[in-house]
Structure 1
Amino acid sequence: MEHHEMVDIEAQREHAAHEHESHAIFKKANRPVTLKFDKVEYSVKVGEGGGWFKKSKDSKIEEKQILKGISGTVFPGEMLAMLGPSGSGKTTLLTTLGARLTGGHLRGSITYNDKPFSTTTNRQTGFVTQDDILYPHLTVTETLVYTALLRLPNSIPKQEKIEHARAVMTKLGLTRCKDNIIGHSMLRGISGGERKRVSIGQEMLVNPSLLFLDEPTSGLDSTTAQRIVSTLWELVNGGRTIVMTIHQPSSRLFYMFHKVLLLSEGHPLYFGKGNEVMGYFESVGYTPQLAMNPSDFLLDLANGISTDESQDDVSTTKRNLVAAYTTNLAQKVHLELLKGCDDHAHVQDKTDDGKKFGRWPTTWGQQFVVLFQRGLKERKHEAFSKFKIAQVLFAAIISGVLWLHSSVANLQDQTGLLFFSIGFWCFIPVNEAIFTFPQERLMLQKERSSGMYRLSSFFIARIVGDLPMELVLPTIYVLISYFMSGLRRSAISFIRYLFSTLLSVLVAEGLGLAIGASVMSLKSATLLGSVVMMSFMLLGGFFIQTIPAYISWIKYLSILWHTYKLILGSQYNHGQTYPCGDGNHCLVEEFPAIKHIGLGGQGYSLMALFIMLVGFRFIAYVALMRVGVRKIK
């Protein structure tokens, strides 16, 4: 009994320690940040007409303005909520203020403590997207621990980083689901509210001074939404600056916002204190006819729906509200922008500590190790799924049965088996690798934008991590089909056959990665991959021996052609014969399906495949460099 009591006391102490640490984490911002944005405008070019690849001379290119001169100031200890109907520019403005916007034409001034965005600012900024971008097969603990190991600097020991992640889980109420996987729509995992808290927790690991959130309460029930906003309120009290978009908050949530920005078609209709918004609109002639949620009233106005007796049309109401803002609020907002950061009570730190921050929080090797471990845990479920294992076993067994105990006497059958096998193990890796980077694009953009790791460490970790998973199933296939089908019983022949197959798998995977990274569209990449592989198969040397000279050169680019040559070389030798009817024996190299390929030139084909092995991955890496991540000056 005494032993159990001691265990309980120890557990309580441990829980209290985590709770104390979590409070310490959430208590105070390291370096308060004042956010200022002045006359921010953003536009994109929209083209009409023109061809598929190139716009014609007659095509019209118009510039569509998304944001139209928006200004404001958010001090430490303040939470700004941006409201407006869909298409009003809320998310675009949030992305702009968070330095996550790429492309388009941006005008105006955005400063952080009166300075432009920098590495220092990026390290102290958290950005929570509307859609929770998380790995579905990782648990809550694994998700936060891996993020902590990547984002927290080397000055913090590894064990402290792990404890830091546990403290954040405790504070956000994630302890009960810490060992549950994240999941997705097709995989049961944690709830939507818990996923949102995990996303917030990832950003809270770095104790951000500035936090951006895009629709943090979207799709959540009122109780869960209240809990999340209450957590954000506590963060604000620690001297943080929080900016969020929110669509239609409840009344009790609305009055928790220190400041409110109301947008309509990119125009500001109101910027100021949340508890003064109703009074402002009453002063300019817009009063609700009955008691209602302030956010509902504001959204009605932003949509041009007036509740007064004049019943102005929608466009007139919007013009009046824009004019009222210019007359009554624009000057007040401008005067607040003129205040220095040190004029605000919360801001004490006026030093530029950017020198103590390196470009990356951890070394290349540390990033590689963490990304490698995380990748293995996440992708092993997909690589060794029941369906995939069943697919490979079925193909191996059916191949072994159909070509059971085949011999050189049935040369046509044997060459057919060899070509089918390499075709099977070229199509599968290409079709799977095509999906890799398009599916990971959002994750890559999110993590790279926050400065978590180098692109090279991510890419190499991905490539190396895929090796054991990509090679296991082909090896099993070869072990089953090779000995069932009666191919050459020689250790050297088997090793050469297996090596050639595995090499073709890796080359085909590289081709898929290059196509996927270059196109970044699942539909287009799949179509392109199918066309390329079909061309390689037709020119692989088995179906057609007489190819027109003007197109025959493409065979030297074909993975199947070079692999087929290596596979044939593993099974047949120069001078070897086979029964060709009427008791005669013919040379194997004169057999039509082999003569066109030839048994010589094995070294050239091996070199070609190694060049492709490196070349396709290099193309994929260069293509990934185009993925939109804002460069920090």
Structure 2
Amino acid sequence: MMPPEQENGVAATNQTDPPISTSNVSPCPEPDRVRFSVLRHSLHPITLKFEDVSYSIKIESGQGRGCCSSPKPKITRTILHGVSGTARPGELVAMLGPSGSGKTTLLTALGGRLPGKISGSITYNGGPFSSATKRRTGFVAQDDALYPHLTVLETLTYAALLKLPSSLTLREKAEQAEMVATELGLTRCGNSVIGGPLLRGVSGGERKRVSIGQEMLVNPSLLLLDEPTSGLDSTTAQRIIATLRWVARGGRTVITTIHQPSSRLFRMFDKVVVLSEGSPIYSGAASKAMDYFASIGYEPGFNFVNPADFLLDLANGVTPDPRQEDDDQYQEFHGRQDDLQSTKQFLIHSYKKNLHPLLKEEIHQQDQHDSTKSSSRLFMMYIGWDNQWTTNWWLQFKVLLSRGLKERKHESYSGLRMFQVMSVSILSGLLWWHSDANHIQDQVGLLFFFSIFWGFFPLFNAIFVFPLERPIIMRERSSGMYRLSSYYIARMVGDLPMELVLPTIFVTVTYWMGGLKPSLITFALTLAIVLLNVLVAQGLGLALGAILMDVKQATTLSSVLMLVFLLASGYYIQHIPMFIDWMRYISFSQYCYRLLVGVQYSVNEVYECGQGSCRAYDFPAIKSLQIHNMALDVAALVLMLLGYRVLAYLALRLGHQH
């Protein structure tokens, strides 16, 4: 394979820079140079141009907080003010600026992921953002949204199976994942789990390289990264930027936001865009930034200074040592040196006067890369990359199902959860040890406990699913990895063995220890009812989590709902007032409880009472349940099972659109 500097005829600068040392720092050594395979087709470079990009949002003002005041008026806040620039193949472009300056917003806009209306123009090889461009664009968010229990190689392999086109075989996709792992220096930790807050895994730099590797799988022509060095030490940060530099030298356009780079990192950038409160104060070659600011009267007070620190100080309105008072241009604009806001306004004014005309001229120039737009698009259509999805629904479902089972088995079958269920099961069996039909109140209590425990337990577990997975879903869906329906169905199917094994063990142990009817048919029906109740409760939990997307709010609401269901189930209160009687019809616990009692006792079954023998159906706790048609109870649970899951899917769909 040709070295990156020679790929696609893209010239590389600073090719004599020595490789970065990697000894005794990380179990995953960084390669001296990054060489990416070409997926059976040559790279199609993308020249990105953005001119006068502006973006505004409406937010609520702080007025109108009184109890009788009118609704809060909304004010418009401009996040970006006329930002322009270019990024060509082979270039590493960095966006600098203080927190809140609009770096991430601009990067998101360039990646075609910013909602709302954007003024100005953003072109890719002279054309608008399209599905073909999306397939050739990689976006690495600031936070590494990765599954903690998957290994590095598994993470890359599953991403390859979902992202790479159907023209490649499964084996070829797996080989591509292995190749990317090798090229990013992840081979030695390929079998190590990613890890998370509660699970030790690979280091922060390795996690970031995995995130980059997921985007590099498709051999992107445009790579966008948001704060790739955030939270990393200086040596690891340098390796990440060195990796990105070699990626760019391979003919790719690489744009990254970065908060406060060291001088070593700054020297690796080809171009920089400096933002101050959403307005540009510089956009151009990184090597010429200091000269430009010196030309308008801003020079550091000493020779050895980090250029990035100097630019960030200016973006914050902090000036260096006092300048000469005979600076006519400065004196013409304002006269107060220590006014931060006036300094920012002067820098913005200077940008518009000196740099903006040159940028507009560069943007409007036609170059050789624009001529590749039509041929690149035709080629992508030919290989199927212009379609919305690179893989069919069935393959997405299978891959997502396999990944979900592998990731969640550690949580579903964790020792803590097994201990929780088994300890309650054995304790319940001991408390109801060999009760018989003559202890009918005790047996009814055990059946009610079945319905309540296996309503609470799956409900509260399901609440966490979508809020915790939302970052991963948003990232993968934004990059077009799979359909939401394939993810949702795979999640539902994958949950079946995870959610049904523990209640099966629980009911099996407690049923026979508790002395319930010794009939295999009755036991099987009892188990089926409990499992149906589990699925209904889980569906409600999924719906609450998907609608609220906030664990605290969903937990609070579910606690209230389960309390209502508990009280309205017919065990504690047998004569509910008419005006509130409707609550028992929305309680899935009530339907489960009635079914459990209905299959446990036949119509003619008797028990010993004060009068000798009494019908079980005449027992007050059973009689109040009014068990007449159990088919209606089953139908109600099935309707809830389907309704809650459809509601959860619609909530996910609407949430993703917003």
| Fold match by TM threshold 0.5 | yes
Distance 1:414 1:601, change over 3 A: same
Match of 2:5 in 1: none
Contact in 2 for aligned 1:82/1:260 (Cα 8 Å): yes
Alignment-derived partner of residue 478 in structure 1: 507
**Aligned-partner residue type, residue 348 of structure 2:** V
CA distance in structure 2 between the aligned counterparts of 1:398 and 1:221, rounded to whole angstroms: 51
Q: Superposition pairs for residues 453-472 of structure 1, below 5 Å?
A: 453-472=482-501
Contact 2:64 2:71 in 1 (8 A): no
Show the counterpart of 2:37.
24
Mark the runs of 5 or more structure 2 residues left unpaired by the alignment. 1-30, 324-336
Give 1:28 deviation, angstroms.
9.4
Cα separation, 2, equivalents of 1:527 and 1:403: 32
Higher mean C-alpha deviation, range 472-481 or range 305-314: 305-314
Aligned match for 2:606, one of 568, 577, 580:
577
Aligned equivalent of 1:333, options 352, 359, 372: 359
What displacement does 1:55 show? 11
- Is 1:342 the counterpart of 2:368 in the alignment? yes
Distance 1:124 1:56 in 2: 51
The one-letter amino acid of 1:479's match is T
- Correspondence for 1:160 among 142, 154, 172: 172
Residue 106 of structure 1, CA deviation: 2.5
SS at match of 1:329: helix
Query: Do the aligned partners of 2:34 and 2:184 also contact (CA within 8 Å) in 1?
Result: no
Judged with a 3 Å threshold, the aligned counterparts in structure 2 of structure 1 residues 48 and 70 are, in CA distance, closer, same or farther, namely same
Residue number in structure 2 paired with 1:182: 194
Name the SS for the 1:133 alignment partner: coil
1:608 pairs, out of 610, 629, 636, with 636
Q: Which amino acid aligns with 1:225?
A: A
Equivalence for 1:217: 229
Over residues 318-354 of structure 1, what are the superposed CA-to-partner deviations in whole Å (9 max), with x where a residue is unaligned? 1111111111111111111102242679989565445
Counterpart of 2:251, as a letter, is G
Q: Report the Cα distance in structure 2 between the residues aligned to 1:263 and 1:138, rounded to whole angstroms.
A: 38
Higher mean displacement: 113-122 or 28-37: 28-37
Shift of 1:308: 3.1
Q: For residues 519-530 of structure 1, what are the structure 2 equivalents within 5 Å?
A: 519-530=548-559
Q: What is the CA deviation profile of residues 563-611 of structure 1, one whole-angstrom value per residue up to 9, with x for unaligned ones?
A: 0111001210112222222x53222112221112123210000011111
* Paired residues for 1:418-433 under 5 Å: 418-433=447-462
What are the residue-to-residue correspondences of 1:34-53 with 2, within 5 Å? 34-48=47-61
CA contact (8 A) 2:46 2:369 kept: no
Q: More displaced, 499-508 or 404-413?
A: 404-413
The correspondence of residues 351-430 of structure 1 with structure 2, limited to 5 A, is 352-356=378-382, 357=385, 358-430=387-459
Matches of 2:567 and 2:62, distance apart in 1: 37
- Deviation of 1:60 after TM superposition, in Å, equals 1.6
Q: Which moved more, 1:383-392 or 1:407-416?
A: 407-416
CA distance 1:170–1:448, shift in 2 (3 Å): same
Separation of aligned partners in 2, 1:484 and 1:449: 52
Deviation at 1:111, TM superposition (A): 1.5
The whole-number CA distance in structure 1 between the counterparts of 2:494 and 2:80 is: 43
* Residue 320 of structure 1 pairs with residue 346 of structure 2: yes
Q: What amino acid sits opposite 1:320 in the alignment?
A: F
Counterpart of 1:591 (choices 612, 619, 622) is: 619
Structure 1: distance between partners of 2:40 and 2:277: 38
Match of 2:185 among 151, 162, 173: 173
How big is the shift at 1:77? 1.4
TM-aligned CA distance change 1:344 to 1:353, over 3 Å: closer
**Equivalent-residue separation in structure 2 for 1:55 and 1:323 (angstroms):** 45
Q: Which amino acid aligns with 2:651?
A: A
* Distance (Å, rounded) in 2 between the aligned partners of 1:613 and 1:332: 63
Aligned to 1:492, which of 512, 521, 525? 521
Q: With structure 2 as the length reference, what TM-score do the two structures score?
A: 0.89
| Contact preservation (8 Å) 1:488, 1:571 | yes
Change (3 A) 1:182 1:56: farther
Letter in 2 for 1:252: R
Mapped contact 2:45–2:369 kept (Cα < 8 A) = no
Determine the structure 2 residue equivalent to 1:507. Answer: 536
Structure 1 partner of 2:328: none
| Cα distance in 2 for residues equivalent to 1:363 and 1:351 | 21
Question: What one-letter code is carried by the residue in structure 1 that aligns with 2:624?
Answer: H
- 1:300 maps onto 2:313 in alignment: yes
> How big is the shift at 1:95?
1.0
Which runs of no fewer than 5 residues in structure 1 stay unpaired?
Answer: 1-17
Q: Deviations over 1:288-338 (max 9, x none)?
A: 001211001011111111013154221111111111111111111111110
Sort the Cα spacing of 1:617 and 1:421 in 2 relative to 1 into closer, same or farther, 3 A: same
Return the alpha-carbon distance in structure 1 between the equivalents of residues 62 and 551 of structure 2. Answer: 24
* Residues 431-442 of structure 1 mapped to structure 2, 5 A cutoff: 431-442=460-471
From 200, 211, 221, the equivalent of 1:199 is 211
Shift of 1:229: 1.3
Aligned-partner Cα distance in 2 for 1:50–1:159: 61
Q: Is the 8 A contact 1:426 1:504 kept in 2?
A: yes
Alignment of 1:136-155 (within 5 A): 136-155=148-167
Structure 1 residues 255 and 28: alpha-carbon distance in aligned structure 2, compared to 1, 3 A threshold: farther
Distance 2:63 2:463 in 1: 29
Aligned to 2:595: 566
| Deviation at residue 27 of structure 1 after TM alignment | 12
1: distance between equivalents of 2:54 and 2:556?
Answer: 39
Aligned position for 1:626: 654
Residues 197-224 of structure 1 deviation map (CA, whole Å, 9 limit, x = unaligned): 0000000000000000011111212222
- State the shift of 1:550 in Å: 2.0
SS at match of 1:71: strand
CA distances 1:232-278 after superposition (whole Å, capped 9, x unpaired): 11111121111100111111211111110000110101000000000
Report the CA distance shift for 1:514/1:113 in structure 2 as closer, same or farther (over 3 A). Answer: same
Cα distance in 2 for residues equivalent to 1:308 and 1:629: 50
Q: Which residue of 1 aligns with 2:272?
A: 260
Provide the rounded CA distance (Å) in 1 between the counterparts of 2:39 and 2:296: 40
Q: Is the 8 A contact 1:341 1:347 kept in 2?
A: no
Distance 1:271 1:213 in 2: 18
Instruction: Please provide the CA RMSD for this pair.
Output: 2.3
Q: Deviations over 1:56-107 (max 9, x none)?
A: 73422111111111111111111110000111111111111111223x4422
**Normalised by the size of structure 1, how large is the TM-score?**
0.93
Does the 8 A contact of 1:27 with 1:238 survive in 2?
no
Stretch deviating more after TM superposition (175-184 or 25-34): 25-34
Deviation digits for residues 492-536 of structure 1 (CA, Å, limit 9, x no counterpart): 110110000000001110111111111111111111111111111
Which range moved further: 310-319 or 486-495? 310-319
Alignment of 1:242-261 (within 5 A): 242-261=254-273
AA aligned to 2:453 is F
SS, match of residue 279 in structure 1? helix
C-alpha separation in 2, matches of 1:485 and 1:26? 62
* SS of the residue 2:516 aligns to: coil
Checking the alignment, whether the CA contact within 8 Å between 1:426 and 1:508 is kept in structure 2 is yes
* 1:279 maps onto 2:291 in alignment: yes
Q: 1:473 to 1:325 in 2, by over 3 A?
A: same
Given that residues 76 and 346 in structure 1 are in contact (C-alpha distance below 8 angstroms), is that contact kept between their aligned partners in structure 2? no
Cα pair 2:36 2:180 within 8 Å, conserved: no
- Amino acid paired to 2:359: V
Q: 1:184 to 1:604 in 2, by over 3 A?
A: same
What code does the residue aligned with 1:89 have? G
For residues 337-390 of structure 1, give each alpha carbon's deviation from its aligned partner in whole angstroms, at most 9, with x where no partner exists. 102242679989565445332221111110000000000000011101111100
Q: Deviation digits for residues 138-166 of structure 1, max 9, x if unmatched?
A: 00010000000000011011111111111
2:575 is matched with 546
Partners of 1:555 and 1:561 within 8 A in 2: yes
